[in-house]
Amino acid sequence: MKKQDGRVCIILLNWNGKKDTLECLESLEKVTYSRFQTIVVDNGSTDDSVDSIRAAYPNIPLFETKANLGFAGGNNVGIEWALSKPFEWILLLNNDTTVAPDFLDRFLEAAAEKKAKVLGAKIYRYQDRRRIDHFGGYWNPKIAEFESHGADEIDDGIGYEDMRQVDYVTGCALLMHKSVPEKIGLLEPRFFLYWEETDYCYRARRAGFEIWIAPQAHVYHKVSSSFTGGKPHMQYFWWRSRLLWIARNCTPDEKKALYKRVVLPELAKFLRHYLLKSAQNGLLALLGRSDPARSQKVRRYKAGLAGALHYFLGRFGNCPDWVIRKK
């Protein structure tokens, strides 16, 4: 085996998140595993992230995309670079995380135990460090969604200690052997945000790779700090990416059943709520009694419907500006 075997490339994707990224890099300085290299991909930040990160960590490679390519597109820049270097492992790590000093040791021990090529960490809430944020996910066809095992549960040190196979692990902390992207390619950039790691894990599973959770690899996540626009932003990408995932990962019969039983009824409900609350909001405005909370709900429903519409129209990339405006 080559001497470089065992080397890990950690990819941090930054978008106007210098404070989070710098804190994550600080935690990585304490990591006990020695054979790793961190890189930062700046995803078109419009603040002073690039200068701040370079000033604090001049020896860490920083790549600038010059545009917001989304989670998938930005991480693909890092994955391609890692594949061109003598790394055996590639870790996608959210910039809004901190890590336990031994998390890479534990990751690689778990990989060796099960001969696994795709693994996820046990992810805790940053502000509540015994509460589980993510411990692997499973597809639930009854609701056409993924459910996270153990989410919001307090880790009792007993029930979440064993390695387990799952349908997917979150891109918040996803470790993969270089053979995975070499065989199945990069993340699908049309997802931009949400569902990209579920798609990637399903592609990996179809290619013969098992997906495992490494329960002793601990990561602490601040949770959705990238959603500057709040719920409308989330709803837009969630709906658009959900429909893309169904199209890419379900059989025609499964897709037909999901649309009939889940997708179309949910969209119809969204449309009814949007029309009703828009009318109510308009009436209140005429009476001089505008309701900001109701207006936010209207934007939320509108964003979800727009995400679905843009999927059907084949419009991908970033969301419309109105989705992320504060008002």
Question: What pLDDT is attached to residue 130?
Answer: 94
Asked whether residue 286 carries a pLDDT value surpassing 80, the answer given is: no
Question: What pLDDT is attached to residue 3?
Answer: 45
Question: What pLDDT is attached to residue 171?
Answer: 96
Which among 3, 258, 222, 211 has a CA at the least distance from the CA of 110? 211
Least confident of 36-45, 143-152, 200-209: 143-152
AA letter at 92: L
Sorting pLDDT into bands at 50, 70 and 90, what band is 166?
A: very high
Question: What pLDDT is attached to residue 326?
Answer: 62
Domains, in order of start, for the chain: 8-221 (3.90.550.60), 231-324 (no CATH)
* Average predicted confidence (pLDDT) for the chain: 93
For residues 120 and 278, the model is more confident at 120
AA letter at 133: D
Least confident of 9-23, 281-295, 298-312: 281-295
| Model confidence pLDDT, tens digit, residues 54-100 | 999 999 999 999 999 999 999 999 999 999 999 999 999 999 999 99
DSSP 176-209: EETHHHHHH-S--GGG-SSSHHHHHHHHHHHTT-
AA letter at 132: I
Sorting pLDDT into bands at 50, 70 and 90, what band is 138?
A: very high
